[in-house]
Amino acid sequence: MESKEQIDISILIAISTLGILLVILSLIFFVVLYQKKMLANKAVLIDTENKHQKKLLDASLEIAEQERVKIATNLHDDIGITLNVLKLNLSRLKKNIENKAVFEEIVTASYKNIDDSLDTVRTIYNDIIPPTLMNLGFVKGLKEVCRQINAVGETEVTFNCEEENIEFDKKIKIQLYRLTKEVLNNTVKHAKPKTIEIKIEQKKQDLIILIQHNGIGITTQMIHQFAERSTGLGLKSIITRSQLINAILDFTIINKNQAQVLIKTPILL
């Protein structure tokens, strides 16, 4: 009888041991499975991050290429032509050095050409390093852009921002300034609005720029379609700059008399 009880206890211990082993093996299996899943997720995140970084790099390179093309075009079309005219004027000057009237005419025209060239160089410099942005800050810099648009007299721009001293990373600031300026220039040129209202506010980690106007509206989908077909730099530059700073760019037609552009950019890490 005692022997039977010992056998039963041995069987119970064996079953219990087997059960514990199964539990342990199950735990090990689930831990290994969890770790594999975590590693797979990490690999996906790394791959996603690498793709994101590559996308940003591609956008950065495209922006840089667009800037080089723009500068080269300005140099060729303006400075190059002006220098050629100055060269011709010098040849004329040499031939007409005794003719006072022609001499003074050529000198006056040459001074004008030099002044025009200096203006072009100043414009190129301002495109590379916007002085209003560097000297006044982001909000005041955009205010100056609005003042320049208002000075033309075709479009009335109103500007609203409660906080004028919004400071954030310099690289984001420059790209966001250029992005907003290009959106405004594109709006004035193509939408032909009579009025534009700009509102800027900071919400937690994001800076939100809302541009509303009463011109011809366009949607985000249309912007991408036009950018793919267009040979110009404007729309492509707007899209690539937004990608470069992880900005959300949303073009919306509210009704036939109102449209808007929303730019939402993370400015705090």
Three-state SS for 127-191 is: HHCCHHHHHHCHHHHHHHHHHHHHHHCCCEEEEEECCCCCCCCHHHHHHHHHHHHHHHHHHHHHH
The pLDDT value recorded for residue 2 is 47
Amino acid found at 39 = L
Chain CA centroid to CA 112, Å: 37
Amino acid found at 14 = A
Per-residue pLDDT for the chain (269 aa), expressed as one digit of tens each? 445 554 555 565 556 656 666 666 666 666 667 667 766 666 666 666 666 566 655 665 666 666 666 676 666 666 777 777 777 877 877 787 778 788 788 788 888 878 877 777 777 766 666 777 777 788 988 998 899 899 888 899 999 998 888 888 888 888 899 899 889 988 998 899 999 999 999 988 899 999 999 999 999 888 888 777 765 556 777 888 888 888 999 999 999 889 999 999 998 75
Nearest to 168 by CA among 256, 267, 71, 261: 267
Q: Which residues, 6 or more positions from 151, have their beta carbon under 8 angstroms from its beta carbon?
A: none
Beta bridge partners of 210: 199, 262
The pLDDT value recorded for residue 114 is 80
Contact 155, 195 (CB under 8 A): yes
Strands 206-213 and 248-255 turn out to be: unpaired
Contact 206, 172 (CB under 8 A): no
